Structure 1
Amino acid sequence: MRVLIATDAWHPQINGVVRSLENVAERADRCDATVEMLTPEPFRTVALPSYGEIRLALARRSAVARHIEAAAPDYIHIATEGPIGFMARVVCLAQHRPFTTSYHTRFPEYLSARAPVPLRLTYALLRRFHNAGAGVMVSSPSLEHDLSARGFRNIMRWSRGVDGELFRPRAERLLDLPGPIFLYVGRLAVEKNIAAFLALDLPGTKVVVGDGPQRVALQVEFPEAVFLGSQSGETLAQIYASADVFVFPSLTDTFGIVLLEALASGLPVAAFPVMGPRDVIGESGAGALSSDLREAALRALDIPRDLCRAYGETFTWEESARQFFDNIRLAHDHVRPPAEAA
C-alpha cells in the first residue's frame, strides 16, 4: 500500500501534527505500507500573518497534481486544511480520487481568539472540507462527539503515541532550580492560555519550554518564570524528567502529545477538565483535572511518578501507526465517489 500524505505542517515547525506524521511515516513498513510526503518544502512560502514561524506554501493546483502523479499513490491522506491540503483536495475531487483527512487543530477557536470571525462560519467551511473525503481521523472521543454534533461525517479514531525510550524517568536532574518545578512545554501563543499558568500563586519555580508569538510579552509580564526556548530530543527529555508537575493550561487542544511525553517521563499532569486532558488522563489517576488550575497543580504533587510512567507506556507510536493505516484501508473499502459536501 502506497500512501501520499499531503500536509502544510512540516519542518522546521515543531508541533503535534508534525510529530504524528513523522512517526506514522517511520513505522509505515511495519504496517505493510510506504509513505510519500507532500510538504511545503518544494514550494515558495510566505509567513502566516501574526505567526511568522509558520509559513504557508504557495502551492498551485498544477504543481500539486504533478507531485501526486509522480508519487503514484494507492491512497491519499490530507492532513491539514492549509494551501497544500486545499489544493490536494481540489485535485482529488477533479480526478475522482478518494481521500481521507485528519482534524488536528481547532482552527475556529484559534481564529476567533485573534479575529472576530463567527465559529459557525469557520466550522461550516471545515465541515465542507472534510465531508468530501472518505473519512476524517480524530484523536479523541471528545473531539469525535463534538464534530459529529456539528455535522461532520465518517469520523474515525486515530490516537497518538510517545517514544518511551527517550521520554523516561531519570535519576539525574538537568534543572538546578528551587523546587517544586512546574513545567509547561508547547507553543507560546494566545490560544494556549499560558498566562493562566504563569499567573498562578505556586511554590518553587515555573519553567516554560517553547517559542512563539507570545514569548516576549510573557517574559515581560512574568519575569520570575524561567523561559528555556525551544528544546528537543535528549535535552527536552531531561527537562521533563527534572520537573515535578506538568501544567497544561490550554482550553482548545484536541489532544496534546506533550501530555504523553510528560507521563512517560514520570511527570503528573495538572490541567483543566476539557477536551484533550480529559481524554488523555481520564480515570487513570496520572493527573489532576480541575477548573481551579492552582488546586490541580498542587494536588498533582502527590501523584506517584511510577503510576504516571506506567500509564504513559500504554501509548505507543506503533499502535498509533496501525490505527492510521487501518483507517485508510477501512475508509477506502467503503468509499463513495468523492464529491463536494455540505
Structure 2
Amino acid sequence: MMRILIATDAWTPQVNGVVRSLQNTAREAQALGAEIEFLTPSDFRTVPMPTYPEIRLALATRSMVARRMDEIGADFVHIATEGPVGMLARRVCLSRGQIFTTSYHTRFPEYLAARAPVPQALSYAWMRRFHNAGAGIMVSTGTLETELRGRGFHNILRWSRGVDAELFRPRPADELDAFVASLPRPIFLSVGRVAVEKNISAFLKLDLPGSKVIVGDGPARAELQAQHPDAHFLGMKEGEALARIYAAADVFVFPSLTDTFGIVLLEALASGLPVAAFPVTGPMDVIGEAPLDTPVGVLDPDLRRAALAALDIDRGAARSYALRYSWRACTEQFLGNIRMAQGRVQHINVAAS
C-alpha cells in the first residue's frame, strides 16, 4: 500500500473546503490502495494568526518537520498549503532531493491584497517559486489552470472535488432546520467563512425579498452582523445540522470572487438548491458546465438579478447535476496525479543517466 504524507496548514478545528477535501480524500484512499498521513499544525506548538485567530500557525523548525516526516515514513509527499508547515516541508524535500507535488487551493495573492497593501505581482512571484519547485501543481478547475499557466506556473494537474450526496440531499418537511424553514420566503442562503475575502457583504447589501441566512464564522462576522440586523447569522454548522439548513432554503448565493472551486456549491446543488453567483473562477467551472436546457444556477455580474432568476430553476435538476461529483472520483484523480508525477521524474532521471 502506497503511503502518502500531506503537509497542510489548513486543519481542524478549521472548517473549510481545504480541510474537507483532504479529509474526504484520505477516507476514500484506503479503498483505493493508499494510506494518507498528515503533517499539520497540531503536530507542533501554535500561535493564532494575526487578524484571524481562528487559524493557528505552527511554531516549527526545519529539523522538527524533518523529524516528523521521518517518523511517518511516507513514500510520497504532497504539500497542500503555502503556510509554515508547507514551506518547511518543501525545504526538507528540496534539501533531500525528494520529489513532491503541491496543490493550489487558495488565491493567496488576492486574499493578502484584501487585507494589506501588498502588490499581487509580488505575491504571485513568490507563489510561482513555491509551486514550480515541485513535480506538479494540482488545481481544481480548468479556468484556474488556464489562469495559472498564463502567470507562469508549470506542470499543472487537475484535481476536482466531490460531495457527500447522502448527507446533502433534499429532505421532507420534518427533516428541515426548523428555524430556517419558519423564516419568510424566499430564503437566500450563503455558507462559508465570514471574512473580507469571501465578499459576504455583497450578498448582505442586496435588496431581496424574504430572508437572508448566513452560515459560518470568521473575523468579519461581528461587524457585518451589526451592519445587517435583518440578516440571520447562524454561526458555524457541520454535518447533519448544516445539511438540514441547506434543504430548508430556496437559493444558494455565492458572492465570492476569489474561491478556486467552492465545495459549498456542490453541497447546495446536492441539497436541491439552485445557485446564484458571479461569473468567476469556481462558479463558472462548477455550474457553468451544466446543460443549457437544464440550468442549475445563474451567473450574472448583477448578483441580485442572479438570485431572483435562480428561484425559477428546477431543484431536481440541481440535485441530478451534483451527483456527477463524488469523493471517490476525486481521490482517484489525486492518486493518479501522484503516480504521474512519480513517472515524470523517473523519466527525467533515466534520460539524464
- What TM-score, normalized to structure 1? 0.97
> Which residue of 191, 195, 199 maps to 1:185?
191
Tell me what 2:316 maps to.
306
Q: Secondary structure at the match of 1:27?
A: helix
What CA deviation, in whole Å up to 9, does each residue of 1:154-186 have, x standing for no partner?
000000000000000001232211100000000
1:189-268 equivalences in 2 (<5 Å): 189-268=195-274
Deviation string 1:264-308 (CA, Å, 9 cap, x unpaired) is 000000000001100100141100000000000000000000000
Equivalence for 2:7: 6
Counterpart code for 1:151: G
Cα distance in 2 for partners of 1:195, 1:6 equals: 33
Q: SS of 2:42's equivalent?
A: coil
How far apart in 1 are the matches of 2:338 and 2:7? 14
Matches of 1:21 and 1:330, distance apart in 2: 19
Q: Letter of the aligned partner of 2:78 in structure 1?
A: H
What SS does the corresponding residue of 1:126 show, helix, strand or coil?
helix
Kindly indicate whether structure 1 or structure 2 has the higher relative contact order, using CA contacts under 8 Å at least 6 residues apart.
1
Partner of 1:292 in structure 2? 302
Task: Work out the number of aligned pairs and report it.
Answer: 338
3-state secondary structure, aligned to 1:219: helix
In the alignment, what sits opposite 1:91? 92
Aligned match of 1:36 = 37
Query: 5+ residue gaps in structure 1?
Result: none
Q: Give me the whole-angstrom Cα distance separating, in 2, the residues matched to 1:275 and 1:295.
A: 19
Q: Does 1:115 align with 2:133?
A: no
Q: What root-mean-square deviation, in Å, do the aligned CA atoms of Structure 1 and Structure 2 show?
A: 1.0
Aligned residue for 2:115, secondary structure, equals coil
> Separation in 2 of the partners of 1:154 and 1:305?
38
After TM superposition, the structure 1 = structure 2 runs for residues 48-87 of structure 1, keeping only pairs within 5 Å, are: 48-87=49-88
Equivalents in 2 of 1:177, 1:303: separation in Å? 21
Candidates 307, 322, 329, aligned match of 1:319: 329
Choose between structure 1 and 2: higher helix proportion.
2
Deviation of 1:30 (Å):
1.9
Residue number in structure 2 paired with 1:332: 342
Give 1:19's aligned amino acid.
Answer: R
The one-letter amino acid of 2:272's match is G
| TM-score (normalised: structure 2) | 0.94
Q: What SS does the corresponding residue of 1:129 show, helix, strand or coil?
A: helix
Structure 2: runs of 5 or more not aligned: none
**1:17 aligned residue:** 18
Instruction: Please tell me the residue identity of whatever aligns with 1:326.
Output: G
Structure 1 CA distance for aligned equivalents of residues 260 and 266 of structure 2: 13
Distance 2:260 2:296 in 1: 19
Residue 162 of structure 2 aligns with which residue?
A: 161
| Aligned mates of 1:287, 1:51 — CA distance in 2 | 32
Runs of 4+ in 1 over 6 A off after TM superposition: none
Report the identity percentage. 65
